[in-house]
Structure 1
Amino acid sequence: MKNILVTVNFTKNDQRLLDQGHQLAKAFQAKVWIMHIAAPNPDFVGYEVGPQYIRNSRASELQQEHKQLQTYADTLKAKDVATEGLLVQGATVEMILEESKKLHIDMIIAGHQDHDFIYKAIMGSVSSQLIKQSQIPVLIVPLD
């Protein structure tokens, strides 16, 4: 195992996922890629159209997310684990799978949080979709 992908969404549970990534990386002398999938830009707010304040707000959000990823990566680097942060925009499951192929990921670490029926019906479950669609082993960490 050479490359481990840890998916984060900037909640208090991220540390559990990062700890799992750290343990496996140390055991296998692997590199950890910490990935956050940012929401895609709304269709009506392209880089050329829309009010400037909306573009500025979105740019600020992405900068904050990038900073947080860098903080996570620096923490693992301080523990002697090769680590890089990756901020990608797009559909969550598709981006995880696409980037996993590009980076030659050997294992994906993702969290699972239980939600009610309405949430599952509307939003679905990222962890369930990853398990169904991934050709790469997926480690699901319970976050409840």
Structure 2
Amino acid sequence: MKNILVTIDFNSDEQLLVEKAFQLAKQFDSKIWLVHIAAPDPDFIGYEVGPQYIRDSRASELREEHKLLQKLSNELKEKGVTAEGLLVQGATIEMIMEESKKLNVDLIIAGHHEHGFLYNAFVGSISGQIVKKSKIPVLIIPLD
């Protein structure tokens, strides 16, 4: 197992996922890819980009998310594990599958939050969709 992809969503529980990835990476001398999928730009999904302050706000959010990814990857490097952070824009499941193929990933680590019936009926479970679509082994970590 040479490459581990960890899905990061910045819901304040990414440390648990990173720690599990660290434990596996140490055992198998693996590289960790910390991947955050950001929402696509409004023009990507068919809407006008809007006023400049909206674009500036969005750019600021993306810069902050990128800094957080770099901080997490630097912490892993300090512990002796090779790690890189990637910020990708697009549809979550599709981008995770695409990046997994590009990076030649051997394992995907994702967190799972328990949601109510209505949420699952309308939105669905990201971790469940990853398991359904992935041809790569997936490790789901309960976060609740």
Instruction: Name the TM-score class by shorter chain.
Output: over 0.9
Unaligned stretches of 5+ in structure 1?
A: none
Deviation at 1:13, TM superposition (A): 1.1
Instruction: State yes or no: 1:105 paired with 2:110.
Output: no
For residues 35 and 101 of structure 2, what CA distance do their matches in structure 1 show? 14
TM-score normalised by structure 2 residue count: 0.95
1:40 counterpart residue number: 40
Tell me the SS of whatever aligns to 2:40.
coil
Unaligned stretches of 5+ in structure 2?
A: none
Taking a change above 3 Å as real, the CA distance of residues 45 and 80 of structure 1, as seen in their structure-2 partners, is farther
Percent identity, please.
61
2:86 counterpart residue number: 86
TM-score normalised by structure 1 residue count: 0.95
Deviations 1:104-129 (A, max 9, x none): 00000000011001111111101111
1:21 counterpart residue number: 21
For residues 76 and 101 of structure 1, what CA distance do their matches in structure 2 show? 23
Structure 2 letter corresponding to 1:44 = Y
2:2 counterpart residue number: 2
Q: Give the superposed CA RMSD.
A: 0.8
Structure 2 letter corresponding to 1:101 = K
Note if contact 1:45-1:54 (Cα within 8 Å) is conserved in structure 2. no
